[in-house]
Amino acid sequence: MQQLDWIILIGTLLFIVSYGAYKTRGSKNVDDYIKGGSEAKWWTIGLSVMATQASAITFLSTPGQAFHSGMGFVQFYFGLPIAMVVICLVFIPIYHRLKVYTAYEYLETRFDLKTRSLAAILFLIQRGLAAGITIFAPAIILSAVLGWDLITLNIIIGVLVIIYTVSGGTKAVSVTQKQQMAVIFGGMFVAFYLIVSYLPEDISFVEALKIAGASGKMDILDFSFNFENRYTVWSGIIGGSFLALSYFGTDQSQVQRYLSGKSVKEMQLGLVFNGLLKVPMQFFILLVGVMVFVFYQFNASPLNFNPAANNAVKSSVYADEYKKLEDKQLEIEKQKYIASLKYGNELMNAELIENIQQINSLDLENRAEAKELIKKADASVETNDKDYVFIHFILHNLPRGLIGLLLAVILSAAMSSTASELNALASTTAIDLYKRNVTSEKTDDHYVKVSKWFTLIWGLIAISVACVANLFDNLIQLVNIIGSIFYGNVLGIFLLAFFIKYVKSNAVFTAAIITQIIVIIGWWYDWMPYLWLNLFGCALVMSIAILIQTLTTKKEII
């Protein structure tokens, strides 16, 4: 990091924070603070929805995912456009007609207060923890790579977000997200251009794609019905639709983005915008990772991209063994260079493809051996280095100034997601719990102040979670598990509300409680991989509610 990088990084972040706080200062009423005055245009909504979903991990992890496993991850997003259409058709007209501030408010209109409060509490538990991880996940990677203090980094990211989110509420979140998206896309396009320009002179972009294809990185689509393959066209369309429907339709951190729209049409167009751009955007981020892969066919790369892993093994008794693997890697890289250059300059040649694949197998074996040694040296260190690939490339190859810009991209993404989360957590606490259960006879000014206090409190909770996250093994996975435990149940409640008129409040509430207990038991006894708990919870709450309603209706008739 040079002085110019620091100037660009600090300048970009401070400008966004100050502009957001200044532009949106002094919200007078709840509508201003929670719905941004209901005046957002479709492009603001669309960018805001995309910025909320794209966290820092999207820009750190996704290129690394493509580097190791190719472009197949794009299939995960195939269901998202379908979910956008369903939300535009069903969810938005109802939310708008009832003029709700939160998604859970609708549940009281349809069922009763206790169902609304239950859904709101489930959201707060899950999203409150997730907000901490949104800060922690990039902070742990940046601190490992740059040597920055983890706790300080957590506090800096958290405080910057708190400043403008407390001050301007929803409007500040969307105003800053527009600038953050400009920084994010600007930085990613520049990075992509530079990676391609760093390839050897006689290797064009098309030839680079050929080299990636020979190494299996261009296997974009998988039409098989093999459940062991995590990403297939079918799992993307079916599972992806289901996940996107619960996230965009019932998670307040997303619902609040489109509720700020000027009209139903603007809200719908905002989600249409997301449905049109999401797949190409993810494709582009993955393509950046594939180009980084091609770049490292012609340039030396570390055996493991996580510096902490390399340091751990090099300072252990396994240092000599690791050195031998590094020497072997140098030989493999020489072979890679020659084979890739030859293949890039020739027509498709089966013999050359086989040669590249053999070298890749050697490369993978060598890296796997290196991981074994690292594990022996220090079992606690992270050997899966996919999150470190892109940041390693940035720090070791980009010119002065651009390193600062790309770090601004990563921190902007972290801030944009966290801001939406804090904003939604505060709105749900203020509207669904405080206003509805504690008090309802206060002025608008009072609720604005209360919302600001809740934003601050949730911000401090998120920073605290981020600061203790390092003490737990696999905390990110734990948060995903907690999400899967609750998400299915909440989506099931909403689907019952929208589509099964026959089911009434007591049946839903009882079913939701029973479902939550069963899902927790199912998770505890490991009945299924945790991602399937989403579908299980949703199906279970709907079935139990219909059953209870049927039984109680029959009893009443008798």
* Site residues for another protein per CB under 8 A: 71, 74, 78, 81-82, 84-85, 88-90, 93-94, 97-98, 109-110, 209-210, 212-214, 216, 218-221, 233, 268-269, 272, 275-276, 279-280, 283, 498-499, 501
Give whichever of 95 and 298 is closer to another protein, judged by the CB atom: 95
What are the Cα distances from residue 181, in Å, to 8, 288, 343, 508? 16, 17, 37, 40
Q: How many CB atoms lie within 10 A of CB 423?
A: 32
Nearer to another protein, 279 or 460 (CB): 279
**Cross-strand pairs, 32:** none
Quick one: 277 or 456, whose CB is closer to another protein?
A: 277
Q: At closest approach, how far in Å is the CB of 281 from another protein? A: 11
Which candidate, 153, 155, 137, places its Cα nearest to that of 382?
A: 137
* Contact indicator for 293, 215 with CB cutoff of 8 Å: yes
Kindly state the smallest distance separating residue 81's Cβ from another protein, in Å: 4
Beta bridge partner(s), residue 261: 40
Distances (CA, A) of 340 to 194, 297, 326, 357, 515: 19, 7, 20, 11, 54
Q: Which is nearer to another protein, 270 or 537 (CB)?
A: 270
User: Would you say 143 or 241 has its CB closer to another protein?
Assistant: 241
Contacts of 393 (CB under 8 A, 6+ apart): 63, 195, 292, 295
Minimum distance, C-beta of residue 90 to another protein, in the bound complex (Å): 7
Return the number of the residue (236 or 537) whose C-beta is nearest another protein: 236
Cβ proximity to another protein, 213 vs 459, nearer residue: 213
| Cα separation, 5 vs 2, whole angstroms | 5
CB of 290 to another protein, least distance (A): 10
Task: Supply the minimum distance, in Å, between the C-beta of residue 538 and another protein.
Answer: 19
CA distance 306 to 382: 8
What angle is formed at CA 500 by the lines to CA 494 and CA 506, rounded to 5 degrees? 75
Q: Is 20 or 213 the residue whose CB approaches another protein more closely?
A: 213
Helix 264-298 vs helix 319-345: angle between axes, to the nearest 10 degrees? 100
Three-state SS annotation for 4-55: HHHHHHHHHHHHHHHHHHHHCCCCCCHHHHHHHHHCECHHHHHHHHHHHHCC
Question: Smallest distance from the beta carbon of 82 to another protein, in angstroms?
Answer: 7
Nearer Cβ to another protein (137/214) = 214
Q: How far is the CB of 147 from another protein (least distance, A)?
A: 39
CA gap 353, 310 in Å, rounded: 31
Least Å distance, CB 214 to another protein, is 8
Give the CA-trace dihedral at 542, 547, 553, 558, to 10 degrees: 180
At which residue do the structure tokens 């944009």 appear?
A: 416
Q: Least distance from C-beta 87 to another protein, angstroms?
A: 11
Task: Assess contact for 30 and 446: CB atoms under 8 A.
Answer: no
Overall size of the chain counted in residues: 558
Question: 82 or 461: whose CB is closer to another protein?
Answer: 82
Closest to another protein by CB, 269 vs 466, is 269
What tokens appear for 349 in the block? Answer: 């040649």
Taking the complex as a whole, the smallest distance from the CB of residue 246 to another protein amounts, in Å, to: 19
User: How far is CA 138 from each of CA 2, 14, 142, 350, rounded to the nearest angstrom?
Assistant: 21, 19, 6, 41
- Minimum distance, C-beta of residue 277 to another protein, in the bound complex (Å): 10
CA distance 279 to 477: 25
Report the nearest approach of another protein to the CB of residue 107 (Å): 12
C-beta of 104 vs 487, nearer to another protein? 104
**Buried b vs exposed e over 116-132: b needs ≥16 C-beta within 10 Å?**
bbbbbbbbbebbbbbbb
Question: Which residue, 173, 337, 326, is CA-closest to 259?
Answer: 173
